[in-house]
A and B are shown apart, each in its own frame.
Chain A
Amino acid sequence: MSNEAKDLLGNVLTADERELLELYTRLKAMSARDDLPPVATANVKQAMVMLWNACNDLAIVHEEPGCD
């Protein structure tokens, strides 16, 4: 991930914001997998949604919220 990632206002992300975005990106990728046991998939999705909420509120991402 580039250190020059920016938020919706064009500001360079802080270290904490970069970490949030990285966590969200990893959880999103994991929650899209279909080879994990239900216990993993469902809980990863829940975690991914919470991270999306933080990233969305902080204007780090603005993705389609209906897409889980």
Chain B
Amino acid sequence: MTPKAKLRITPLFVISAMLVALWLFLASFPFLWTLWGSFKVQADFFSKADWRNALSGVNTIAQTGSAYTGTGYFGAWIQEEFWKPVTNSSIVIFFTVIISLTIGTLGGYALARSGRRYAFWILMAALVFRAMPHITLVSGYLLPFFEWNIWGLMPTTIIVLVAINQPFTLWMLHSFFLNIPKDMDESAMVDGCTRFQAFWHVIIPVMWPGVITTGLFSFLLAYNDFAVTSMLLSQENETMIPAIAGFLGTVQVEGNVMFAVAAVVSATVPLLFLVMFFQKQIVSGLTTGAVKG
């Protein structure tokens, strides 16, 4: 089809363009609105009288003398010590991603090169495991973890997140390794490498695009998790998302809702940058399972 034919203005084209515009508005507006509002005072962001107050910041000017205020951020990060859960989150996420990728790469490679029937059944089992709601698994962890005195510790949560991550990681990396020609590592083995040497010297140098894509999704799982981290971590090891949930209860009572708004925006911004820099990888990761079958 020529580009000209594509751009012909038909009623259908107009309708679909309007639908896209509406979708883009719905997809972006909540983020822009909350980001903008996080620099206002509560009376503006939650303004019953007039929503335009949030834009102009009438009450913000009245209360602080400027149209923008960082009190929400100060309150969240310093007063409520939001930096602590953020630090904890960074530790948990970092180790979860590194360990997931290390053991997932080995497993995914083996599954892609095995060619036996049991490798397929392992993948099927992984599919079943992936479908398990995380909270059902958590209800199985609590009692043993209490008994062994490992509840509340960060390493425990990291290992749990790694395990929960494995089914997906194995599937992604397995389908990625299938796309690397077998000849590459097999010819290395003909030259006298062991399987592991072939993997180390031949596969590792070319696997990074697939590993980065998979790593992004491991990152998102660890970053977005609420069920596991909220149930398995003690108060001082709490991560970001459970901390935000906790904020909702406490700061709302004290009238510091803007603290929670600032915390929510702080937790959203890293994700915006992630999508900005890795858009291509995220899209390709989302479609591997579907389009290639």
Are these two chains actual partners, yes or no?
Answer: no
